[in-house]
Structure 1
Amino acid sequence: MTAKAQTLRFETEPKEGETIGEVAHRRIRLHIVNGRLKPGEKLKLDRMRDTYQASVTAMREILNRLAVEELVTAEGQRGFRVAEASASELRDLAELRILLETDALRQSIAQGDLDWEASVVAAHYKLSAIETLLINKAEDAVEQWVAADWGFHYATIAACRRPVFARTHASVFDRFARYHMLALNFRGKPAAQEHADLRDLVVGRQADAAVDLLTRHIRSGVEHILSSGDFQ
């Protein structure tokens, strides 16, 4: 996956040269991540075709791709369902995200140039604006926050130049973010402050402190999600 594809990960509007299937794939993935499509929900091909404006054949391909990403469960001849959610999976995803993201963050801090620093600051500026809306109870900004949160965390590790890491991390991030959306959506001012502090540490090239903060940030998110009582 290219850097451009990564930054467009949560965009739902068609881009020049894209196929209907590519747009539908992004939209379905986003709707699973933000909880519009619920855990365990049956994904009927005819209904999905009408909703996402793609053929049944294309929908089957897309759902098989999402099954590889573990956002969807394939049930053989019985079709597809949205993947279930559990506390144990959330904790596993958090630790895997920490493993991947902290390593990539250290490499980015070591290798990133001035343009990379600028991209981190710009991504945080956008995220901060949306977090302010959410703190002020603008619930319609949730989908924007999913994209902006991804955009910021991706920006911090974009200079690591390890495409296999990037693809794996992106998939893990999607599955982790889904739990935020299914539970309490957004952790509020503490998360916003941690993002601001992480920006400063990253741009200041303070790798150890940035890794420590990122680790605490992710684990605090887990405890916040589990405090909802929605996952066993």
Structure 2
Amino acid sequence: MDHPIESAAPGPVTAEFRSGNGGSGKTLVGTAYRSLRRDIIEGRLAPGTKLRVEHLKDAYGVGAGTLREALALLVSDALVVAQDQRGFHVKPMSLADFHDITQTRILLECEALRQSMQNGDDVWESRLVAAFHRLDRAEKRLDGQQDDHFDEWEERNREFHQALISACTSAWVRHFLGILYQQAERYRRLAIMHKPIPRDVHREHQAILDAALAHDADTACKVLSEHIGMTYEAMKHLPAEMFSG
């Protein structure tokens, strides 16, 4: 659930580009990348939108070459689609796509959680408890002030899910979960902001935490699966035009 989950496995783009470090050119690319990514995630650049370099370079205050590099990073994130002779487009959203993301994430994250619980020690437990505490505080700030605090909540939610699987021994599983978490972000934002179905996300996170600390793998995976799946169920109740562009 963006990368969202650290991994020793090679990522689709370098951390240097993502952080904007390593020189003025890369700083400009990183800044443009983050601005474009935020506008895609938040819907200001709607799904399916054609991204015309000649127009966007002025809007984002960078040159055409810099903008193309930033768009190439977003292609590797699967947030932008590059089509021969047709340029760049924001990747479309659909229930079918999100169902695929959700089911694959459940499969991998439950396996990662089982591994993490088998290998987790006191350090892992303390990391998990601390992440839950920060998420709890962010959830309280999110209530009633969603626009102001969603980004903080999203970061704390990512940290909690990352802490859950941080003792997983498979770097590749963690790497692919990072990609899936990031892909789900556009959908998750809609579900959390519009609340199409009644849901107590805090209680869901508490149940995951309790089962994980009890080292009850079956229960932990059950409640984690239900938690991830609830976002898909929520999306099914939103008007299709809200996420189809």
Bin of the TM-score, shorter chain as denominator length? 0.7 to 0.9
Matching residue of 2:6: 3
Q: Distance in 2 between matches of 1:60 and 1:90?
A: 27
How far has the Cα of 1:149 moved from its partner? 1.3
Among 214, 217, 228, the alignment partner of 2:224 is 214
Secondary structure at the residue paired with 1:228? coil
Q: Is the 8 A contact 2:20 2:30 kept in 1?
A: no
Query: Displacement, 1:213?
Result: 0.3
Partners of 2:140 and 2:199 lie apart in 1 by: 9
List aligned pairs for 1:44-193, cutoff 5 A. Answer: 44-50=52-58, 52=60, 54-185=62-193, 187=195, 190-193=200-203
CA distance in 2, matches of 1:194, 1:209: 12
Cα separation, partners in 2 of 1:56 and 1:4, compared to 1, 3 Å? farther
- Aligned identity (percent) is 32
1:57 Cα deviation after fit: 2.3
- CA change 1:34–1:148 in 2 (3 A) is farther
2:238 to 210, 228, 231: 228
- Give the Å deviation of 1:194: 0.5
Inter-partner Cα distance in structure 2 for 1:202 and 1:51: 46
CA 1:37–1:118: 2 relative to 1, 3 Å: farther
Q: Spell out, residue by residue over 1:8-44, the C-alpha distance to the aligned partner (whole angstroms, 9 max, x if none).
A: xxxxx96765741345434433442333432112323
Question: Is 2:7–2:175's contact at 8 Å kept on the other side of the alignment?
Answer: no
The letter for the 2-side match of 1:190 is D
CA distance in 2, matches of 1:52, 1:196: 41
**C-alpha displacement of 1:69:** 2.7
Per-residue deviation, 1:183? 4.5
Equivalent-residue separation in structure 1 for 2:171 and 2:38 (angstroms): 22
Amino acid aligned to 1:198? I
Gaps in structure 1 of 5+ consecutive residues: 7-12
Q: Using the TM superposition, name which of 50-59 and 220-229 deviates more.
A: 50-59
- Bigger Rg over Cα: 2
How far the C-alpha of 1:152 sits from its partner, in A, is 0.9
Task: Describe the SS at the equivalent of 1:74.
Answer: strand
CA distance in 1, matches of 2:83, 2:225: 35
Going from structure 1 to structure 2, the CA distance change for 1:17 and 1:116 (only over 3 Å counts) comes to: farther
Amino acid at match of 1:204: A
Q: TM-score, normalised by structure 2?
A: 0.79
| Matched residues, number | 226
